[in-house]
Amino acid sequence: MNNRPIGVFDSGLGGLTVLKELQKTLPNENFIYIGDTAHVPYGNKSKGSIYNFSKKIINYLNTHNIKLIVAACNTVSSTILSDIKRITPIPIIDVITPLGDFFSSQKIKKIGVIGTRNTIKSNFYNRLIKKYNSKSEIFSKACPMFVPIIESGLSNHKIARIMGEEYLEELINNNIDFLVLGCTHYPLLKPMLKQILPKNIAVVDSASVTAHYIQKHLLAKDSLSSNNAPGKIEIKITDNSTEFNKEAKLFFDNKLNDI
Q: Residues of 148-184 as b/e, b for ≥16 C-beta within 10 angstroms? A: bbbbebebeeeebeebbeebbeebbeeebbbbbbbbb
- 3-state SS assignment for residue 235: strand
Catalytic residue list contains 143? no
CB-count burial class (<10 Å; 0-12, 13-18, 19+) for 13: buried
Separation of alpha carbons 121 and 75, rounded Å = 10
71, 77 Cβ separation under 8 angstroms? yes
> Quick one: DSSP state of residue 113?
E
Give CA–CA dist 126/93, Å, rounded. 19
SS3 content of the chain, % helix, strand, coil (to 5): 45, 15, 40
> Out of 32, 57, 66, 73, which one is annotated catalytic?
73
Partners of residue 183 on adjacent β-strands: none
Residues 183, 197, 204, 214: which is the catalytic one? 183
Strand duo 68-71 + 31-35: pairing: unpaired
- Residue 41: cis peptide before it, omega within 30 degrees of 0: yes
Per the annotation, the verdict on 73 as an active-site residue is: yes
Catalytic residue list: 73, 183
